[in-house]
Homo-oligomer: A and B are copies of this chain.
């Protein structure tokens, strides 16, 4: 009897399951890191059946990637300030806030955990990174359409994101506003 009901109220039960599962995963990641729990534990905490999780996400790896992506997209949308410089400065500041916040460098920890799992983990990692890349590339494409000369997405990764990630991961050096702005200015110069 579930299916017809769900079809009549799109976003009803389905959205509640998604929200409960996302919340359970977020809590478990906070408590145990990205590789310290099973689908069964997520299901128990969310109050849903294991099969509901497998039907919707296929495997644990895809679920972890989906949850992390949803949190990042909600909390750090790509900026659209009208200029390349404005977009990159805002983007860099958002990334810095995100990776020094309560979740820490979630993107990087997730990708490392997925890489250590198996083939499904690597596929989930690559899909996840492709989605983040696509968002960044859209921002750079808007600059090109305005007649600006944007850097490659890989240059943004190498010279803006990578230094911030490594400083946070190694616990070396602070991400001050001057430091972050300096990374972007250096890339654009």
Which A residues have a C-beta under 8 Å from some C-beta of B? 33, 108-109, 111-112, 115-116, 122, 125-126, 129, 154, 157-159, 161-163, 165-167, 169-173, 183
Give bound CA distance, A117 to B59, whole Å: 27
Looking at chain A's contact residues, the main secondary structure is helix
Interchain CB contact under 8 A, A154 and B172: yes
Give bound CA distance, A189 to B108, whole Å: 30
Report, nearest first, the 3 A-B pairs whose CB atoms are least far apart.
A158-B163, A162-B166, A162-B162
Copies of this protein in the assembly total: 2
Interchain CB contact under 8 A, A166 and B170: no
Most buried by B among A166, A173, A183: A166
Interchain CB contact under 8 A, B154 and A173: yes
Interchain CB contact under 8 A, A112 and B109: yes
Given the complex, which residues of B lie within 8 Å of A112, measured CB to CB? Answer: 109, 112, 169
Give bound CA distance, A173 to B154, whole Å: 8
Interchain CB contact under 8 A, B163 and A116: no
Interchain CB contact under 8 A, B126 and A171: yes
Give bound CA distance, A22 to B162, whole Å: 31
The one of B33, B129, B167, B169 in contact with A172, judged by C-beta atoms closer than 8 angstroms, is B129
Given the complex, which residues of B lie within 8 Å of A163, measured CB to CB? Answer: 157-159, 162-163
